[in-house]
Amino acid sequence: MAVGEQAIPHGAVCGTLLGRKAMSSWPNLAELIAAPDETTAVGLVGVPLGAGSVTPGGCDRAPELLRATLKRIATYDVETGREIATRIADHGDLEISGMSIEDASTPIRNAIAASALQRPLTLVAGGNNAVTRPAVHALGLPLERVGLVTLDAHFDMRELGPGLSNGNPVRALLGDGLPGRNIAQLGLAPFANSRAMHEDALAAGNLVVTIGEIGSGGIARAVERALGWLGHVEAIVVDCDIDVIDRGQLPGAPGARPGGMAVHDFFAAVRQLAAEPRVRIVDLVEWDPMLDPSDLSALTAARWLAECLAGFETR
């Protein structure tokens, strides 16, 4: 110890450090949530749709839990050295409890359109996969000018005869007039689809990229391929069906399968897609909080939102 220095008691050092820790900030996604106004570049619409699910469950509980989990996701990305700062205009959750998909489709479309028509990016927190069809229509463009990218283990090409469901939004959109050449489907899983669905998707002209192709060629290449496939469209909707993720890494999705997409590939794909200026709407669907007693699925969903913002800020 140098002459004139005074020893500081050990307890005082501990107290100083504890005080700093107590006063330190934890910038997190929840702090970015704001009331809708004209200055917010990103919107959030909650669509707690549970009707018409092939596997009944609790997808309608997802938007509420997503918001509650945002405070656990920091805004700082240690890998890039960037801090997310984009504010999110939260439009709340739609009051669609008890509605059928047919009855809920127009309110869903209108709510998403209210954000999408004034913001470059709108995030849609489902709910089941039936929200994707009204999300596409929410852009208000002729369908030949709209592209759809799905991150999904399934084709979503079930027959329409029994009615609309979370298993047939892609077939419904094709019936509405969305050209197959405007659809890119990434992450299709073995033993999770029928031959008829596969053949119909190819016959329609959809781009089909299986999970095996992603494993061998890499997720970045698959996303580049999808965006190249949609080079002719004006605007793009990205459908993130969370059951594309390997079930061991995302237990809270009824349609997830072992051998699905690695969660880090899912995050990378979302960020890469959100960086594309033509991407106007990104949804997250098929997360059922009731299936996961842990917080793993909730944290994955909240990280999805962080990746959307991180990609958007690189535009």
250 within a domain of the structure (yes/no): yes
pLDDT tens digits, 243-280: 999 999 999 999 999 999 999 999 999 999 999 999 99
- pLDDT band of residue 51 (cuts 50, 70, 90) is very high
- pLDDT band of residue 9 (cuts 50, 70, 90) is very low
21 within a domain of the structure (yes/no): no
Q: What is the pLDDT of residue 245?
A: 98
Decide which of 86 and 10 is more confident: 86
Q: What is the pLDDT of residue 55?
A: 86
Domain containing residue 115: 26-312
3-state secondary structure of 188: strand
Asked if residue 18 has pLDDT above 80, the reply is: no
Percent of the chain with pLDDT over 90: 90
pLDDT tens digits, 101-131: 999 999 999 999 999 999 999 999 999 999 9
7 within a domain of the structure (yes/no): no
- pLDDT band of residue 155 (cuts 50, 70, 90) is very high
Q: Indicate the burial class of 23 (C-beta count within 10 angstroms; 0-12, 13-18, 19 or more).
A: exposed
The residues that bridge with 284 in the sheet, in sequence order, are 125, 240
Q: In what order do the strands lie in the sheet with 121-126?
A: 33-34, 88-93, 42-47, 121-126, 279-285, 235-241, 146-151, 183-188, 207-210
Q: What is the pLDDT of residue 4?
A: 40
CATH code: domain of residue 200: 3.40.800.10
16 within a domain of the structure (yes/no): no
Listed range (3-12, 106-115, 185-194) with the worst mean pLDDT: 3-12
Tell me whether strands 121-126 and 42-47 are parallel, antiparallel or unpaired: parallel
Q: Across all residues in the chain, what is the average pLDDT?
A: 93
92 within a domain of the structure (yes/no): yes
* Residues 166, 186: Cα–Cα separation, whole Å: 17
Closest by CA position to 124, among listed 76, 59, 176: 59
- Mean pLDDT computed over 297-312: 98
Total of domains in the chain: 1
Asked if residue 1 has pLDDT above 90, the reply is: no
Chain-centroid distance of CA 167 in Å reads 17
pTM of the model: 0.92
33 within a domain of the structure (yes/no): yes
pLDDT tens digits, 208-218: 999 999 999 99
pLDDT tens digits, 157-186: 999 999 999 999 999 999 999 999 999 999
Q: What is the pLDDT of residue 37?
A: 87
Q: Are 65 and 18 in contact (CB under 8 A)?
A: no
**Which residues fall within 8 angstroms of residue 250, CB to CB, at 6 or more apart?**
242, 243, 256, 260, 263, 296, 297, 300
- pLDDT band of residue 56 (cuts 50, 70, 90) is confident
- Mean pLDDT computed over 186-202: 98
1 within a domain of the structure (yes/no): no
Tell me whether strands 82-83 and 76-77 are parallel, antiparallel or unpaired: antiparallel
Closest by CA position to 286, among listed 184, 106, 107, 154: 154
166 within a domain of the structure (yes/no): yes
